[in-house]
């Protein structure tokens, strides 16, 4: 199932009475998006969930947008064709930008296989003056396939799933992510610490 985007007409952007700076000052935190990308079973959702928990326990407002979860609602009309994957990421980028603008930390966990789509998400944030931190959850396909918690790789090998990233559809790895984590070489706690260290060093938290 595909979706086409139609440009809206007769709309006007309505400014509120609270500036981003005032909101950040009142809430005592800055907003940003932390964008996890990686193969299915790369560990990105596991690390993203642990990071969300860690930040919340520190009193930092964070919310995780998960690839599968979003497809139950916001993106339930999208399939996995290249066009639908692009639209999937476009919508998520827009939603995460809204979270970041509200001074929350948006944590997205999506395969987001195409470099151009991730760059579009980054550009959207950049143009809005919002930080965008790309986290590459990196594992060899063989490792991801050996984990296969949902049995998706097995189905893809059997031809039951078409256009499966890493098997029958491409994954374009980030060339220069802010954070690069080999999730097969680090524990979840170590991965979270690596991200938190980066956020602290750059004064995001």
Residue whose tokens read 């490792």: 143
- State the catalytic residues: 112
Domains and their CATH numbers in the chain: 20-140+171-201 (3.40.50.300)
DSSP collapsed to 3 states, the chain: CCCCCCCCCCCCCCCCCCCHHHHHHHHCCCCEEEEEECCCCCCHHHHHHHHHHHHHHCCCCEEEEEHHHHCCCCCCCCCCCHHHHHHHHHHHHHHHHHHHHCCCEEEEECCCCCHHHHHHHHHHHHHCCCCEEEEEEECCHHHHHHHCCCCHHHHHHCCCCCCCECCCECCCCCCCCCEEEECCCCCHHHHHHHHHHHHHHCCCC
* pLDDT class of 13 with cuts at 50, 70, 90: low
Instruction: Provide mean pLDDT across the span 18-23.
Output: 87
Q: What is the mean pLDDT of residues 179-196?
A: 98
Q: How far is CA 164 from CA 67, 141, 160, 172, 187, in A?
A: 14, 12, 10, 13, 27
| pLDDT at residue 181 is higher than 70 | yes
The pLDDT of residue 23: 86
Mean pLDDT of the chain: 93
Residues 193-203, mean pLDDT to the nearest whole number: 98
| Single pTM value for the model | 0.89
Query: Nearest CA to 32 among 114, 116, 122?
Result: 122
At residue 160, does pLDDT exceed 60?
yes
Q: What is the pLDDT of residues 63-119, one digit of tens each?
A: 999 988 999 999 999 988 889 999 999 999 999 999 999 999 999 999 999 999 999
């Amino acid at each position: 199932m595909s979706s086409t985007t139609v440009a809206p007409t007769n709309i006007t952007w309505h400014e509120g009475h609270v500036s981003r700076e005032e909101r950040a000052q009142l809430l005592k935190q800055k907003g940003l998006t932390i964008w996890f990308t990686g193969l299915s079973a790369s560990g990105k959702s596991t690390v993203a969930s642990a990071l969300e928990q860690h930040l919340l326990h520190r009193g930092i407002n964070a919310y995780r947008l998960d690839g599968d979860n979003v497809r139950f609602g916001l993106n339930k009309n999208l399939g996995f064709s290249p066009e639908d994957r692009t639209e999937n990421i476009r919508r998520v980028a827009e939603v995460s930008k809204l979270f970041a603008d509200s001074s929350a930390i948006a944590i997205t966990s999506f395969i987001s296989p195409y470099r151009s789509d991730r760059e579009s998400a980054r550009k959207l944030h950049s143009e809005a003056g919002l930080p965008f931190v790309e986290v590459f959850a990196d594992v060899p396909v063989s490792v991801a396939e050996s984990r296969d918690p949902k049995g998706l790789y097995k189905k893809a090998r059997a031809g039951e799933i078409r256009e499966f990233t890493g098997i029958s559809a491409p994954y374009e790895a980030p060339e220069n992510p802010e954070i690069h984590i080999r999730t097969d070489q680090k524990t979840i706690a170590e991965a979270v610490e690596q991200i938190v260290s980066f956020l602290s060093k750059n004064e995001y938290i």
